[in-house]
Structure 1
Amino acid sequence: MEKTRKAPTGILGFPVTPFNESGNIDESALARNIHFLLEEGLEAIFISCGAGEYNSLSYKEFEATVELAVSEVNGKVPVYTGIGGNLSESLEKAEISAKHNADGYLILPPYLIEGEQDGIYEYFKTILHSTDLGAIVYQRANAVLQLESLQKLVEIPQLIGVKDGVGNMDLNVELTQAIGNKIGWLNGMPMAEVCHPAYMPLGFDSYSSAISNYIPHISRLFYEAMLSNDLQLVQDLYQDVILPINQIRKQRKGYAIALIKAGMEIAGLPVTKSVRPPVTQVEKEHFDQLEKIIKIAFDKYPKNTKTIA
C-alpha cells in the first residue's frame, strides 16, 4: 500500500524501549506502552528514536521494535523509525523500515563528525533517495541545515518534514518563511512544551512530547489550551507540571531518557528504570520529586478516560 507523504501533526509519541532484568528488550511491555499511547490519541508513533535509545540497539533489536510497532499500531496512526549515525548504518535501517512497512523515518545526525553544509546535505540526500518512504530531517547537534541546503533537499519528494532540536529561532524564521508549507515543521526541542508557544506562530503544528509516555492527558490539555489560546491554563500547567519536570530533567545528563522511564514506573506503566550506558538511572531524590509532580498532575488535572477507537 502506498504511503502518504505528509508530515504528522499534533502530539507525537516517542516510546521508550523497555528492558527486562536481563537487559533484553521487553517486547510485551513495549507493545502495551504503544497501545497506551494509541488509546490516549497521540497522532503518530516514532519507534526507536532518541527516547527509545536507538543508539544502543543492535540491528536485530531495531528490526524487532519496528516490526512490533507497525503490527501494534495496525494503521491507526503513522509509524516512523529513528535512523542515524554513520551513513551505512542509516541506509541499512532505512531498508529495514521499508521492509516492515513503516510510514517513514526520522533522520538523526551522523555520528560525531562535523561536516560542512555540502557534506550534511549529501548525508541527508543519500538517505532520502535510498527508499520511497517519507523522511523527516532532525536539526540537531552536528547536522543543522542552512536555508540553501534545505531548499535543495525540499526538491526531493521523500522529504516531508523538518524537526528542530536546536532552538535557533532566527534560523527557524528564515527557513519557515522561505519554504512555507512545502514540508511539515515539528518542534523537537527537549521538553518541547516549554518552548512551543514560540514555535506555533512559525507554522510548527506538532511536537514530540516526552511526558506523553506517562501523563499524556497533560500533553493533550496543554496542546488544546495552546490552540484555543487559553493562556491561563497554559500558565497553570507550566507552573504545576511542565516547568517542575523540566527542572528535574536538566539536573543530569541522560535524564531526557531516564526520567521518562521513571515517570512511567510512577504512573504504573510496564517499564523498568533500567537504561543502557552511557545513560544512568534517575537518582532517588529526583525520582521522589517527580513522583510528587505526577501526583499533582493527576489530582489537579483529572485524566479524561476517553480513548480512540
Structure 2
Amino acid sequence: MAANERKAPTGILGFPVAPQDQQGRLDTKALEANVRFLIDEGLSSIFVGCGSGEFHALSTADYRTMVEVTLAAAKGQVPVYTGVGGNIAHALELAKLSEELGADGYLILPPYLIEPEQEGLYQYLSAIIGSTDLNAIVYQRDNCILTLATLQRLLEHPQLVGFKDGHGNMENNIEFTQVIGDRLTWLNGMPMAEVTMPAYVNLGFNAYSSAISNYIPHISRLFYDALLNNNKELLNELYQHVILPISRIRRQRKGYAVALIKAGMEIVGLPVGTTVRPPLIPVEKEHYAQLESILKTAFERFPKQANQ
C-alpha cells in the first residue's frame, strides 16, 4: 500500500469486549452481536482484542477466533484493527497472524513490564511496525511514553498511520501535533475519552475510543456532534447526567474500564455476561445499581431517535 493511501480511522472507534459463556469459554455469538451492533450504530471502525477485549488474558487460539469472527461480522463495511503488544515475540506473532487473517491494521499496546529507555521503545515499536505491511497505530500509555524525537524516528515506517494517546500530557500532545501535523491521525485513548475530548479536539485529535458506545452509542454520537458543533448546553447536560456520573463509577475500582462495559451491555439487554478474566474484577452490586440508574436517566433525557 502506498504511503499516501494509508490512513487511520477517524471519528468514534468501536472496541468490542471478549464475551464468555457460562463455562468460561469465548462466546463467539455474543462477540458477533457486539461487533454488528457497533457497526449498525455507525461507529467508524472496529478494534478487536485490545484493552476492552481483555488482550492481557487471551490465548492465541481465542485471539485468532476473535479476529476471524470480527472480520466475518464486519464484512468489509468498516476497517478492522487488532491489538498487539506485550511480550515482543508474542506481539510479532500476533501481528503476522493479523496480516494472514486479513485485518486492516493493529494497535500496538505497551511492552510487557519493562520501564524502557527511548531507544528500547523505538526498537520495540519499530520491530512491530515493520514486521508486516498492515497499518500500525502506536498507543502511548503506562510504560510506553514517547518523546518527539522517538516518534519522529518511527515516521520512517509508512505503515505508521496513527498515534493514540492514553497518557494525557497536553504539553507533549501540542508539541507532537504541531510538529508532525497530519502525517499521523491523532486518537484520544484516555480512559472514558468523552471526559477529555474537548481538550483533545482543538489539538487536531479527530478520533477517540468510546467505551460507552458498547451500550449507549447514541449518546456517544450525540456527544461528539455537540462537541464538533459547539453546542455547549447539550454538552453540559450530557456531562452532568451521563458522562461524568459513569466516569465516577469507573474510577471506583481498578479494572472497571473493562468490567463496567460488560455491566452496561447487560443492563441494556446485550447478552455478553458480566464475567471478566483475572486479574480484573466484575462490577460490584452497588456500582451496578448506580450504573442502572444513570442509564435509565440517559434514555429518559436523551431518547434514541428513530433515525439514530
Equivalent residue, structure 2, for 1:246: 247
Instruction: Provide the residue aligned with 1:44 in structure 2.
Output: 45
Q: TM-score, normalised by structure 2?
A: 0.98
For residue 59 of structure 1, what is the aligned residue in structure 2?
Answer: 60
1:216 Cα deviation (Å)?
Answer: 0.3
Return the alpha-carbon distance in structure 2 between the equivalents of residues 13 and 76 of structure 1: 13
Q: Does 1:12 align with 2:37?
A: no
Equivalent pairs counted in the alignment come to 307
How far residue 305 of structure 1 moved from its aligned partner, in angstroms, is: 3.6
- How far apart are residue 304 of structure 1 and its match? 2.5
Q: What CA distance in whole angstroms lies between the structure 2 residues aligned with 1:81 and 1:303?
A: 30
2:274 match: 273
What is the SS of the residue equivalent to 2:111?
Answer: coil
Q: Secondary structure at the match of 2:86?
A: coil
2:101 counterpart of 1:139: no
- Counterpart residue number, 2:214: 213
Structure 1 Cα separation of the partners of residues 144 and 138 of structure 2: 9
Alpha-carbon distance between aligned partners in 2 of 1:138 and 1:16, rounded to the nearest angstrom? 18
Structure 1: which amino acid aligns with 2:222?
L
Q: What is residue 301 of structure 1 aligned with on the other side?
A: 302
Secondary structure of 2:266's counterpart equals helix
Q: CA distance change for structure 1 residues 220 and 41 in 2, over 3 Å: closer, same or farther?
A: same
In structure 2, distance between residues paired with 1:141 and 1:33: 28
Deviation at 1:306, TM superposition (A): 3.2
Give the structure 1 partner of residue 32 of structure 2: 31
1:117-132 aligned at under 5 Å gives the runs 117-132=118-133
Residue 154 of structure 1: how far off its partner (Å): 1.2
Q: Per-residue displacement from partner, 1:182-232 (whole Å, max 9, x unpaired)? A: 010000000000000000011000100000000000000000001111011
Q: Superposition pairs for residues 111-190 of structure 1, below 5 Å?
A: 111-190=112-191
Give 1:2 deviation, angstroms. 9.0
4+ aligned runs moved over 3 Å, structure 1: 1-4
Deviation of 1:272 after TM superposition, in Å, equals 0.3
CA distance in 1, matches of 2:85, 2:21: 25
What is the aligned partner in structure 1 of residue 224 from structure 2? 223
Deviations 1:124-179 (A, max 9, x none): 00001100000000001111111000001112100000000000001101111110
Q: Determine the structure 1 residue equivalent to 2:196.
A: 195
- Secondary structure at 1:203 match in 2: coil
| Residue number in structure 1 paired with 2:94 | 93
Trace 1:259-270 onto structure 2 (pairs within 5 A).
259-270=260-271
Amino acid at match of 1:14: F
Map of 1:68-87 to 2, 5 A cutoff?
68-87=69-88
Helix, strand or coil: the match of 1:63? helix
CA–CA distance in structure 2, aligned partners of residues 289 and 270 of structure 1: 19
Percent identity between matched residues is 60
Q: Which whole-Å CA distance do the structure 2 matches of 1:57 and 1:305 have between them? A: 37
Where do 5+ consecutive residues of structure 2 fail to align? Answer: none
Report the CA distance shift for 1:102/1:305 in structure 2 as closer, same or farther (over 3 A). farther
SS at match of 1:84: strand
Distance 1:265 1:2 in 2: 43
In structure 1, C-alpha distance between the alignment counterparts of 2:249 and 2:306, rounded to whole Å: 28
What is the TM-score of this pair, normalised by structure 1? 0.98
- Partner amino acid, structure 2, of 1:248: I
Using the alignment, how far apart are the partners of 2:228 and 2:98 within structure 1? 33
